[in-house]
Amino acid sequence: MTDARTTLDSASSPAAAGEDPGVRAPKEKRPGGSVRSRQPLWKKLAAGGALAAVLLPAGAWLTAKLLPAPPMLEGVPFSSALTDRHGTLLELRLAEDGIYRLKTPLSEIPPAWIAATIHYEDRWFAKHPGVNVPALFRALWGTVTHRPMGASTLTMQLARIRLGLETRSVSGKLAQIFWALRYEAHYAKDEILEAYLNLAPYGGNIEGAGAAARVWFGRAPAELTAAQAASLTIVPQNPVARRPGREAWREAFSRVGESLIAEGVFPETLAPAMRPEAAPAVTGPGKLPHLARHDARLVAALAPGERVRG
């Protein structure tokens, strides 16, 4: 009996059957013929994250499109201005909220100012849907870890300025993102850029390109040099420290000038004008022209936000 069992056991072993004991048997197929997958969990999570990264923005954009368009410049108080027949400013009045803010069409803002603004603030402005997703995730992580970093697009900045959003918390940042998507869903890029350039802070109580050019350089925006235009693009990021004329403004002007030249936004012929010692001389609110008292009635008769050429 013992010999028979031994013989049977030996015959049923892999070696006896001519099988290599070091080779595993193939996986058993599940009903239907499929082989059980052992894909790592991290791959499944990555795939789910990638899918969410596509579907969530698409759903948010569709929702933004279905909601009413957010406000642009309607309801914003603007300064009244009086110029002579040659366009020279004679009087610039404060807006109703105490701000110098002169409504200026995008067509009156020089290309150098527009190009420098996009280069400095939002290089992907023409292509993104209102948010720069990679930069956004970095910014949200920085908010959570209390190490803030910049990631706001021009559209997000417009939403923050126009709507007075508090964006230092995660919930505030998410609200800013959603409003930016709404702006992009309802307005063209040029409309967004024009609104931003009419509302951006340029130091003190000065907002918008039209007022900034007049107050800081005594010129209309279209009359600014490339260096003057570039020197104003750096102000909105930190309008207190970089108020035109201050040392931080000069240092930032030099850095942005080097970048504009190095990356071909401005021609190399402008390099000498972009050095820190060549920073443009500024005037300031104290140098704004004022009409004589007996002519002030002309300005008083202006409607808010009106520009009249005498």
Query: What is the C-alpha to C-alpha distance for residues 304 and 97, in angstroms, rounded to an integer?
Result: 11
Q: Is 120 within a domain?
A: yes
By residue range, what is the domain housing residue 121?
A: 58-222+291-309
Query: What is the C-alpha to C-alpha distance for residues 139 and 49, in angstroms, rounded to an integer?
Result: 18
Q: Is 16 within a domain?
A: no
For residue 294, is pLDDT > 50? no
**Average pLDDT, integer, range 26-41:** 56
CATH number of the domain that residue 300 is part of:
1.10.3810.10
Percent of the chain with pLDDT over 90: 52
For residue range 201-222, list pLDDT tens digits in order: 999 999 999 999 999 999 999 9
For residue range 149-161, list pLDDT tens digits in order: 567 899 999 999 9
Start-to-end CA span in the chain (Å): 126
Q: Is 237 within a domain?
A: no
pLDDT at 168: 84
Query: What is the C-alpha to C-alpha distance for residues 157 and 200, in angstroms, rounded to an integer?
Result: 9
Q: Is 53 within a domain?
A: no
Statement: the pTM of the whole predicted model exceeds 0.85: no
Percent of the chain with pLDDT over 70: 69
Q: Is 24 within a domain?
A: no
Cα 24 vs. chain centroid, distance in angstroms?
Answer: 58
Q: Is 97 within a domain?
A: yes
Q: How many domains are contained in the chain?
A: 1
Q: Please, are residues 99 and 204 in contact by the beta-carbon 8 Å criterion? A: no
